[in-house]
Amino acid sequence: MSARLVLATRNAHKVGELRAILGDVLGAAVEVLPVDDPSLPPAVDVAETGVTFAENALLKARAVAATTGLPSVADDSGIAVDVLGGSPGVFSARWAGRHGDDAANLALLLAQLADVPEPHRGAQFVCAAALVVPGGVERVEHGRLRGVLERAPRGAGGFGYDPALRPDGHDLTCGQLAPEAKNAISHRGQAFRALAPAVLEALGGRGAGG
């Protein structure tokens, strides 16, 4: 029987990314379930009241682990812009006022930076990935991807602020990179790959080898 791991998110884009990132390590022996999978008890929405990405990731993972009784992973991530003093930060998903409106959030951020020259358009994606095992382990790992914000979105891939950030050393934005190329360098990929050994240990060592 497969070990079960719950992803504390209803975001279909994020579920796809996390399955791809974790899949190479966890393999077919682990069933990776989104929080709204019909086989799981209904999960309550968690208010992201933390002031750091790590705090919010732990809030979500704890709530889902408590509801399902299964090991849970969650992330909180966003973009930190140098000239904005690290904002939007934990407010990235609701920068324009309504949570999850990617187009409005991106449009507002680029409008705020309209007069900022390229040498000062540095930014980074930041991710905190959390694992919570019911009655046991809690672990958080971080990932960061530095880059420069374009003046207009480029590319239809990814989600959130992906079409605006061009990673250092690349000619394409995260929205133009192929999913495999993006996952190899992304903040989320870094954080979850760092978390993977703790996930494997929590699941009894079951990995890609079975």
What is 17-72 written as a DSSP string? Answer: HHHHHHHHHH-TTEEEEETT-TTSPPPPP-----SSHHHHHHHHHHHHHHHHSS-E
Which residue reads 């905190």 in tokens? 128
Any domain includes 100 = yes
Identify the H or E element spanning 96. none
- Asked if pLDDT for residue 208 goes beyond 50, the answer is no
Cβ(138)–Cβ(201) under 8 Å?
no
- In the DSSP assignment, the letter for residue 88 is B
Q: What span, in angstroms and rounded, lies between the C-alpha atoms of 154 and 116?
A: 18
- pLDDT tens-digit series, residues 93-151: 999 998 889 999 999 999 999 999 999 999 999 999 999 999 888 999 999 999 999 99
Residue 102: which CATH number? 3.90.950.10
- pLDDT tens-digit series, residues 72-99: 999 999 999 999 999 999 999 999 998 8
Any domain includes 69 = yes
Any domain includes 73 = yes
Any domain includes 160 = yes
- pLDDT tens-digit series, residues 25-55: 777 778 889 999 999 999 888 888 999 999 9
Any domain includes 207 = no
| Residue 76 annotated to the active site | yes
Domain ranges, residue 52: 3-202
Tokens describing residue 76: 């909180």
Tokens describing residue 148: 């420069």
Q: What span, in angstroms and rounded, lies between the C-alpha atoms of 34 and 16?
A: 10
Answering whether pTM is above 0.85, one says: yes
Which of 45, 76, 115, 162 is flagged as catalytic?
76
Q: Based on the structure, what is the number of domains in the chain? A: 1
Mean pLDDT of the chain: 91
Q: In Å, how far from its chain's centre is CA 83?
A: 23
Q: What span, in angstroms and rounded, lies between the C-alpha atoms of 198 and 6?
A: 14
Any domain includes 50 = yes
Tokens describing residue 96: 């324009």
| Helix residue spans in the chain (DSSP H) | 12-26, 53-68, 102-112, 179-185, 187-202
Any domain includes 10 = yes
Any domain includes 191 = yes
